[in-house]
Amino acid sequence: MSRTFSISIYTLGCRLNQVESEAVSSAFLNAGFTLVQPDSVPDIFVINTCTVTSKSEQKARRVIRKASSENHDSLVVVTGCYAQLNAPDIEKLGSNILVIGQAEKSRLLEFPAYIQETDAKCGSELKEYLQFRLGKSPMTTTKFDFLPDTFSFHTRASLKVQDGCNNFCAYCRIPFARGRSESMDFDRAVETAVAIEKNGYKELVLTGVNITAYESGGSRLRQLIETILEHTSDIRIRLSSLGPYDDLDNFAFFISQPRICPHFHLSVQSGSDNVLAAMGRKYPAGRLKEITDILKASGRDPFISGDVITGFPGESDQDFEDSYNLIRDCGFAMCHVFPYSPRPETRAYRMRNRVPERISRQRAERLGALAEQLNLAYIARQQGRREQVIIEEEVMLKGRKYYAGLSSNYVKVLIESPAALEGGTLCDVVLNADSGNVFGTLL
């Protein structure tokens, strides 16, 4: 490499994108590149995009345009789900833009070696060389090679054990962008989890598009988790988004394991049987209540969250009330509420019985207000609890410095400490809930 190159990575969207960005960062750092902030004019600017909603695509376009126009001599690499589905539109945003779709995202792990082979400068010259190199060389990496040695943007480790989706729900583009469901080899997943603990990480997040679809050599998610628990000693395990919900016994197992974080994010989408059927979701709304009842019966008071769409085509006032009542009755600790966003190529995009945007937004606001009430109630219940918190960052609140971290049940905790607390440190604290915030007193 004729000089030291700098790289910046900007990530939009899900935790899966985040762990893939971590792996790209790790690959470049291991090759001697320098990781810098986006506003420092990097030589290479990687933008990892999302396509879940039209707003996520709009934000991606704004970031891409800005990076391209303000960094004329830089190479802007755009990847991710939006890049997979809308490459021609993205290429028009700037001459220094190189699009690498989701299907070939793992090739970014090969980029450091390619760049070290050439004297090409950044910008269009480097773009041309990489295009030549990509056309000449077969892909040697896979979607399960996103295994960072170190995590640059998070203090908790993540492991992608599953990718893709076979469900093809009526509103979702993810199967078109990420393909059919695939799973990481069972033994490799266990070995990687063991290595992550040996590297000193205190929490491991198992992630994927739908980790309940995990299957390798006849083993499913439960067998994978059981084996990871057997081969590790202390690291706590957090599960990413779960669904659909065929085996309720799995939830009783998850909540019974002390090292599995009592935090469960459910892909809810709607509390109406009519809407769920129209979406292509293969479970009744009542199944969500059954799951929350199982989780709460443990006595661990788990943090249960979910995604909900309002204004899906055909959603009536009663359908919305069914969703509202389900979220209230389940007592979710948090809800991510989204007004329906029509996505090209999906079945719902062609549905005619659209709900007016004004109504969809109003429903989202009402459901969001309920979710805020439920979250405040959950936060209030943290008073006096003893918890272990992983430190993430320093924050200022009303002129005072705190160390912010996450408890096992996904509560943000603010800790005052006379001594510096490094990111990734695991602290024993007693919680004190005050005005919507949770403070931790070190033990």
Q: Which of 136, 171, 191 is the last residue of a domain?
A: 136
Tell me the CATH number at 60: 3.40.50.2300
Q: How many domains does the chain have?
A: 3
Say yes or no: 274 and 402 in one domain. Answer: no
State mean pLDDT over 44-51: 96
281 and 421, same domain (yes or no): no
- Rounded to the nearest integer, the mean pLDDT of the chain is 94
Domain boundary among 337, 361, 380: 380
* Residue with tokens 């990871």, as numbered in its chain: 228
pLDDT above 70: residue 125? yes
Which residue, 292, 277, 283, 272, is CA-closest to 367?
A: 272
Instruction: pLDDT band for 41, please (50, 70, 90 cuts).
Output: confident
Within this chain, do residues 119 and 185 fall inside the same structural domain, yes or no?
Answer: no
- Token digits of residue 426: 């695991």
Q: Are residues 108 and 213 in the same domain?
A: no
Residues 61 and 40 grouped into a single domain = yes
Compute the distance between CA of residue 154 and CA of residue 207 in angstroms, rounded to an integer. Answer: 14
Per-residue pLDDT band at 1 (split at 50, 70, 90)? very low
The verdict on 108 and 223 lying in the same domain is: no
Examine residue 150 and state whether it is found in any structural domain, yes or no: no
pLDDT at 243: 76
| DSSP output for 272-332 | -HHHHHHHT--S-THHHHHHHHHHHTTSS--EEEEEEEES-TT--HHHHHHHHHHHHHHT-
User: For 109-121, how does the pLDDT look when each residue is reduced to its tens digit (9 = 90+)?
Assistant: 999 999 988 887 7
pLDDT at residue 246 is higher than 70: no
Same domain, 432 and 363: no
Phi-psi region of 407 (alpha: psi -120 to 50; beta: other; left: phi over 0): beta
Cα–Cα nearest to 270, from 341, 321, 304: 321
Statement to judge: residues 363 and 246 lie in one domain = yes
- Same-domain status, 276 and 367: yes
- State the CATH number of the domain containing residue 277: 3.80.30.20
**Contact in structure between 360 and 318 (CB atoms under 8 Å):** no
Q: Give domain status of residue 168, yes or no.
A: yes
d(CA 348, CA 273): 16
Model pTM? 0.94
Q: Given a cut of 90, is residue 260 above it in pLDDT? A: yes
Show the DSSP H helices in 98-248 as ranges: 111-116, 124-136, 174-178, 186-198, 221-231
In a domain, 147, yes or no: no
Mean pLDDT of 22-34: 95
Please answer whether residues 182 and 215 qualify as being in contact, where contact means their C-beta atoms are separated by less than 8 angstroms.
no
Residue with tokens 């980029």: 111
Q: Which of 136, 168, 187 is the last residue of a domain?
A: 136
**Is residue 373 domain-resident?**
yes
Task: Specify if 402 maps to a domain.
Answer: yes
Which residue type sits at 335? C
Domain-located, residue 433: yes
CB 410 within 8 A of CB 442: no
What CATH number should be reported for the domain holding residue 421?
2.40.50
Q: H or E element: which one contains 173?
A: none
pLDDT tens digits, residue range 404-414? Answer: 999 999 999 99
In a domain? residue 145: no
Q: In this structure, are 93 and 212 located in the same domain?
A: no
CB atoms under 10 Å from CB of 378, counted, come to 22
DSSP string, 350-399: G-S-PPPHHHHHHHHHHHHHHHHHHHHHHHHTTTT-EEEEEEEEEEEETT
Say whether pLDDT at 175 is over 90. Answer: yes
Residues 165 and 102 in one domain: no
Domain containing 44 equals 6-136
Q: What mean pLDDT do residues 367-371 have?
A: 98
Q: Which two tokens stand for residue 86?
A: 């809308």
Confidence of residue 5 (pLDDT cuts 50, 70, 90): confident
Rg (CA), the chain: 22
151 assigned to some structural domain? no
**What is the Cα–Cα distance from 251 to 244, expressed in whole angstroms?**
12
409 and 376 in a single domain? The answer is: no
Q: Centre a 10 Å sphere on the Cβ of residue 438 and count the other Cβ atoms it contains.
A: 22
* Tens of pLDDT, residues 61-104: 999 999 999 888 899 999 999 999 999 999 999 999 999 999 99
Q: Where are the alpha helices (H) located in 36-167, listed in sequence order?
A: 54-70, 81-85, 87-91, 111-116, 124-136
